[in-house]
Chains A and B, each alone.
Chain A
Amino acid sequence: MSHVANSKGRGGFIAGFLILPLALYLTFVIWPYIQTFGYSFTNWTGQSPTFDFVGLDNYSALLKDEVFRGALLHNLLLLVFVPTVTILISLFFAFMLNAGGRSGAGGVQGVAGSALYKVIYFFPQVLSLAILAVLFGAVYRSDEGGLLNGFLSKLGLVDPAHPIEWLNQPNFVLWCLLLVVVWHGVGFYLVLFSAAMQSVPKDIYEAALLDGAGRAQTFFKVTLPLLWDSVQTSAVYLGIAAMDMFVLVSTMTSGQFGGGPDHHSEVMATVLMRNFLYFGKAGYACAMGVVMLVLTLILSAITLRATRREHVEF
């Protein structure tokens, strides 16, 4: 390295290679991030070039904003359920894939065709959320043409004359969206956990099996602790996804930028967008952005701390 470090033209080369990426990144990412904090203390509408400094007014207005408080609550609900449900299902399937096979002479085995399963499960991950929104918009249709209603009425569980209005039921709408996120995410986390399980040396499993451990015991005492790092990372990622939810809510539910019926599916991102692009309250929307950032950071910190375990080397 020293050789390289001292050769000539080095300084110019470094600067030349860094200048463009840095300039772009500063202009479109960092500077807007910083500006948000500044704008959040103003009553800027986004229309006029002038605005006043209003201190913490936007933030105290946020506290009183019923819609925003509801949205925050929904985000917190999703934050609990999205990671829990997704991780539990993916762990279950990953274990099935890797240890659910016939145990022959070689000890614990994966099921036959596990590669095919993985190919299928992972596919939703490459679809855009917009495709998902249209797809599930159709699945949840409020007449017999919806896959869910059609299926349930075939089974006789739903009266064909009065199908369920999934996305218009105040009590259902959030859970309907949750199902979409889980449907979308399980494949990815399953592959992730599966890769982590495969990197555990086979002889650890064999030893556990020889020692008479059942599958459940093997899972809880051997697999899970060794996977803890991946579970933790996944929780953070899923938590961040649960803080967003903009695409699904804004496109699948009723209302300007979604959130309906009657704000029952509102999330912070949709309230932010509505205030910014529809009500023209740029400063207020910036304050929401800041709140989202603070919450994201707190939650990542909590997740990382709460799930901290001794790291296992193998």
Chain B
Amino acid sequence: MTTVIKAPGEAAAEKRSAASGQPRGRKKSGSDGMVLNVFSHGFLAVWGILIILPLIWLVLGSFKTDVQIGESALSWPANWHFDAFPRAWNKGIGSYFANTLIVMVFSVPLTMLLGSMAAYVLARYPFRGNRPIYYFFVSGAMFPVFLALVPLFFMVKRLDMLNTYQGLILVYVAYSMPFTVFFMHSFFRTLPTAVHEAAVIDGASHTRIFFQVMMPMAKPGLISVGIFNVLGQWNQYILPSVLMQPQTGSDPERYMLTQGLIQLQYQMGYETDLPVLFAGVTIAMIPMLVVYLSFQRQIQAGLTSATLK
């Protein structure tokens, strides 16, 4: 506790007295900085390599043959085989991809719409029960999803929505609600009231104000939460692995991409066709890489501010 209070003022004074005994010139600190600079670049580069190397290695693996993968990890693809990609696509990656897209096309906009509606009303309309409802929504973020898993399975089963897109869509929307409401709530609070009041005087209805005035104004917030939800739902594994299993032998597989990859891992370990697995992972990584590189700034800013709030 005390160190903090001391830090900016007193500690500096201590150092000043210490420094006067052993003066440090600009030059010295300059060369210090030089050493440190090389030193930090060294460490930073090593970590960079540790991040990139396994990923590149995996992508390269999809151009090798199974035998070549097993023989030596450090070999360059001897002759580049491109056939693992179409094979992976046909082994199921294509349909897992489609399944994930189908679910997300509905779940993300629905999450944004319902989450914003609730957040908007809670942020800008004082009414009895407002605070309890808000905390009720937000508290969901505190609990581990495992707490709900068993009853959730039976709830979805009772609604006859196991292994259906609509079931998973509704579950995704529900589980994205706490964070979306939380984030959009703080966003709607920051929007100026003057615009709203002007719209009211012009005779716009509440609903109209929401859709035509407030939503466009909340665009930056919507983008941040949107990215967060896209990443979260795209990468979700536990919910689909419980809810999206064929219930009978004749049921179609409606695996999500994450589930499908793990499925492929079991299958390919068995059939010893690792290039297909690596190609599958590469295919699954590409959209994330594209989304990441195009929204890199927003993603970093969005996720970090979301955590700190």
Q: Which residues of A are at the interface with B, using a C-beta cutoff of 8 A?
A: 1, 3-5, 7, 9-11, 13-14, 16-18, 20-22, 24-25, 27-33, 35-36, 39, 46, 92-93, 96-97, 100-104, 109, 111, 117-131, 133-139, 141, 143-151, 154, 183, 186-188, 191-192, 195-196, 204, 207-209, 211-215, 217, 221-222, 225-226, 228-230, 233-234, 237, 240, 243-244, 246-247, 251, 268-269, 272-273, 276-277, 282, 285-286, 288-290, 292-293, 296-297, 300, 309-310, 312
**Closest CB in chain A relative to B283 CB, distance in Å:** 11
- Known contacts A46-B150, A96-B43, A9 near B206 by CB under 8 Å: yes
Residues of chain B within 8 A (CB-CB) of A117 are 44, 48
Report the Cα distance A9→B210, complex, angstroms.
14
**Closest CB in chain B relative to A138 CB, distance in Å:** 6
- B7-21: CB near A (< 8 Å → 1, else 0) gives 110011101101100
A296 touches B140 (CB 8 A): no
A211 touches B15 (CB 8 A): yes
Report the Cα distance A268→B25, complex, angstroms.
57
**Closest CB in chain B relative to A195 CB, distance in Å:** 5
**Closest CB in chain B relative to A87 CB, distance in Å:** 13
- Known contacts A131-B261, A131-B281, A212-B16, A4 near B133 by CB under 8 Å: no
**Closest CB in chain A relative to B301 CB, distance in Å:** 8
B74 touches A27 (CB 8 A): no
B24 touches A212 (CB 8 A): yes
- Known contacts A7-B200, A127-B285, A269 near B125 by CB under 8 Å: no
Q: Is B291 an interface residue (CB 8 A)?
A: yes
Q: Is B72 an interface residue (CB 8 A)?
A: yes
Residues of chain B within 8 A (CB-CB) of A146 are 73
Report the Cα distance A292→B211, complex, angstroms.
41
Report the Cα distance A13→B304, complex, angstroms.
34
A212 touches B18 (CB 8 A): yes
Residues of chain B within 8 A (CB-CB) of A312 are 4, 7
B32 touches A18 (CB 8 A): no
A130 touches B258 (CB 8 A): yes
A126 touches B288 (CB 8 A): yes
A145 touches B72 (CB 8 A): yes
**Closest CB in chain B relative to A65 CB, distance in Å:** 16
Residues of chain A within 8 A (CB-CB) of B153 are 46, 276
Residues of chain B within 8 A (CB-CB) of A230 are 308
Q: Is B174 an interface residue (CB 8 A)?
A: yes
The 8 Å CB contact of B29, one of A150, A209, A251, is A209
Report the Cα distance A192→B304, complex, angstroms.
5
A111 touches B40 (CB 8 A): yes
Residues of chain B within 8 A (CB-CB) of A137 are 265
The 8 Å CB contact of A244, one of B115, B117, B146, is B146
Residues of chain A within 8 A (CB-CB) of B32 are 103, 214-215
Closest 3 CB pairs of A and B: A150-B73, A212-B19, A100-B40
Query: Which parts of B143-181 form the interface with A (CB within 8 Å)?
Result: 143-144, 146-156, 170-171, 173-175, 177-178, 181
| 14 further interface pairs, Cβ-Cβ under 8 Å (given A120-B52, A300-B142) | A5-B125, A17-B121, A18-B118, A32-B147, A103-B30, A119-B296, A124-B51, A130-B258, A131-B281, A134-B262, A150-B74, A213-B12, A289-B146, A310-B5
A13 touches B154 (CB 8 A): no
How many inter-chain residue pairs (CB < 8 Å) link A and B? Answer: 337
B54 touches A128 (CB 8 A): no
B48 touches A191 (CB 8 A): no
Residues of chain A within 8 A (CB-CB) of B19 are 211-212
Main secondary structure of the interface of A (DSSP, over half): helix
The 8 Å CB contact of A128, one of B70, B284, B289, B301, is B284
Contact sample, A vs B, 15 pairs, CB 8 Å cutoff: A20-B117, A21-B114, A30-B140, A97-B40, A102-B33, A128-B237, A133-B265, A147-B53, A154-B74, A183-B50, A195-B301, A213-B12, A286-B151, A309-B1, A312-B4
**Closest CB in chain A relative to B215 CB, distance in Å:** 12
Q: Is B225 an interface residue (CB 8 A)?
A: no
B292 touches A103 (CB 8 A): no
The 8 Å CB contact of A1, one of B124, B291, B292, is B124
B174 touches A28 (CB 8 A): yes
Residues of chain A within 8 A (CB-CB) of B4 are 225, 228, 309-310, 312
Residues of chain A within 8 A (CB-CB) of B108 are none
A211 touches B200 (CB 8 A): no
A293 touches B40 (CB 8 A): no
Residues of chain A within 8 A (CB-CB) of B155 are 27-28, 31-32
Report the Cα distance A275→B220, complex, angstroms.
44
The 8 Å CB contact of A7, one of B117, B133, B206, B234, is B206
- B105-121: CB near A (< 8 Å → 1, else 0) gives 00000000011011011
Report the Cα distance A221→B10, complex, angstroms.
11
Q: Is B101 an interface residue (CB 8 A)?
A: no
B5 touches A213 (CB 8 A): no
Q: Is B102 an interface residue (CB 8 A)?
A: no
Report the Cα distance A111→B181, complex, angstroms.
38
The 8 Å CB contact of A144, one of B71, B174, B205, B281, is B71
Report the Cα distance A102→B61, complex, angstroms.
40
Residues of chain A within 8 A (CB-CB) of B144 are 240, 243-244, 289, 292-293, 296
